[in-house]
Structure 1
């Protein structure tokens, strides 16, 4: 397990599941959470390839921070099918201050463990990571 600057380790499963998403497209998304007692980042939820954006957004808690990776498929103006891997730092305004601080201080270290992130989003409410935001950032 990797050691993070904030003291948060990264569970090996986090990297393994990300590699499966990236290489084999086994998942549409992965939601990660920090287990404060164990001082590590762990996999919280996995989205099947058939799951869409709405399923992903519905699985982010309204009042708790999470990290997430989303494999976004889109069609370019040239009619090419493409995909971008988004990293989302989800920290709703209603989450605990301590939680926001832990997630903020661990984010860069955790993101470095996931080799292949193409675009990063920070969101405090669902409008900051809507499908329109994904589309505009993906091109």
Structure 2
């Protein structure tokens, strides 16, 4: 089904891999990109469960927009192991205006396809999605 705002489709593979991340924890993160020619959101990179947050941030291009989900493990003050799934909309200032508009207009519809996202971050600069920011958001 196309996104009414941008005409964007979401590939079934995106939904399937997200379900695997959420239910089976097969992946630590998934980076998604929009293929403008195909008018479709597709998978750009899958992160193995043992990959770190640094591996994740290195997999996002500096000057191109992306969507990403990251499964963040943490320990509560009560010493409970938990995890939260973050949705990160990466839209750097250096990316093309058309690309930023396309990602912005498709974001909400794409996010609705991924049932189970717990925290959303919007980042235009690497400092806006630092590990400290992620850690600060888990307690919300």
TM-score by length of 1: 0.98
- Structure 2, unmatched stretches of 5+, are none
**Match status 1:4 vs 2:26:** no
Separation in 2, partners of 1:76, 1:127: 24
Q: CA deviation at 1:136?
A: 0.8
Measure, in 1, the Cα distance between the counterparts of 2:84 and 2:127.
19
| Mapped partners of 2:135, 2:81: distance in 1 | 13
Structure 2-normalised TM-score?
Answer: 0.97
Aligned to 2:70: 70
Which residue number in structure 2 is paired with residue 132 of structure 1? 132
Unaligned runs of 5+ in 1: none
Once the two structures are TM-superposed, the CA of residue 3 in structure 1 deviates from its matched residue by: 1.4
CA drift at 1:30: 0.1
Match of 1:107 in 2: 107
Shift of 1:38: 0.2
Q: What is the alpha-carbon root mean square deviation over aligned residues?
A: 0.5
Aligned residue pairs total 138
Matches within 5 A, 1:19-34: 19-34=19-34
4+ long deviations beyond 6 Å = none
Question: Is residue 40 from structure 1 mapped to residue 67 from structure 2 by the alignment?
Answer: no
How far apart are 1:118 and its partner, in Å? Answer: 0.4
